[in-house]
Amino acid sequence: MIPALVGKALLLGLSTGLFCAGFCVPLVGPLLLADDNRSVKRSALRVLLFLVGRLVAYLLFGLVFGTLGGILSRVWGIKAVLLPMLYAVLGALMIVYAVVQSFPHIGFCRTIAQPVRSGWYIALVGFLAGINLCPPFLLAVTTVMDIGGALRGMLFFLVFFVATSVYLLPLFFAGLVSRFSSVRFAGRVTAVLAGLYFLYLAAGTAFVHAR
């Protein structure tokens, strides 16, 4: 039972990992490239914090949906409410980060600079990215609910997390290029654009579900 569960989680994670990377890289990539600290060690640490936040979200969902068993219909109710809120919060976090990094001497930015630059901030982004109800995630949720069991659900999501995270490994080297001021500027611009895009997704998703 356990080997089959692990194999299924690995296969799903590796086959859909590029989709997950397509969602996560526009979030964590600009946050790494926009950072004033050019240390490769710090960049790698922040990637780890992002992944830890994502892992916590995965384990939480594995626990919850593994316990729920076969009540699949609840996923769609959660999706209609949670997804617009998730996109809106992610968009706001991206824009706030870019503004604080670009204008550190403004009163508001100076006030919130410490928490925004902390590891907790990027871990929060990772956690929110981890609960994105994208097709691979919903496939994992469906599988976990079919398998049943809190521990089996957590194990499935742990293996799924490891498999999808393989595609994010190049981010550990972001510190090598963030040493250039032009790259940091591009990272901040990209963070704002990504933030606006997620706010657009929030509005669009809310509109679709409201119809």
Confidence check: pLDDT of 46 > 50: yes
Range in 67-81, 85-99, 109-123 with the lowest mean pLDDT: 67-81
Minimum mean pLDDT range among 7-11, 167-171, 205-209: 205-209
Better-predicted residue by pLDDT, 152 or 109: 152
In angstroms, rounded to a whole number, what is the distance separating the alpha carbons of residues 39 and 173? 10
Number of Cβ within a 10 Å radius of residue 26: 19
CA pair distance 78, 115, nearest whole angstrom: 29
pLDDT grade, residue 53 (50/70/90)? very high
Report the pLDDT value the prediction gives residue 80, as an integer from 0 to 100. 61
Lowest-pLDDT range, 70-79, 137-146, 190-199? 70-79
Question: Computed from CA positions of residues 203, 206, 210, 211, in that sequence, does the dihedral angle turn out positive or negative?
Answer: positive
Q: What is the DSSP secondary structure assignment for residue 175, as one 8-state letter?
A: G
Q: What is the pTM of this model?
A: 0.76
Which residues lie closer than 8 Å to 209 by C-beta, 6 or more apart? Answer: 80, 83, 84
CA distance 5 to 127: 24
Q: What is the pLDDT of residue 73?
A: 43
Read off the pLDDT of residues 94-134 as tens digits, 9 standing for 90 and up: 888 878 777 777 766 777 777 777 778 888 888 888 887 67
Whole-number mean pLDDT of the chain?
Answer: 77
pLDDT of res. 135: 67
Which of the pair, 161 or 183, is modelled with greater confidence?
Answer: 161
- Burial class (CB within 10 angstroms; exposed 0-12, middle 13-18, buried 19+) of 101: buried
At 158 the pLDDT is 92
| Burial group, residue 162, by CB count within 10 angstroms (0-12, 13-18, 19+) | middle
- Residue 176: pLDDT above 80? no
Return the residue matching tokens 């604080």.
100
| DSSP E strand boundaries for the chain | none
| pLDDT value, residue 200 | 82
Which pLDDT does position 180 carry in this prediction?
A: 65
Helix (H) or strand (E) holding 163: helix 150-165
Highest-scoring range by mean pLDDT, 33-42, 84-93, 122-131, 171-180? 122-131
**Most confident among 64-68, 81-85, 132-136 (mean pLDDT):** 64-68
Average pLDDT over residues 9-24: 80
Q: What one-character DSSP code corresponds to residue 131?
A: T
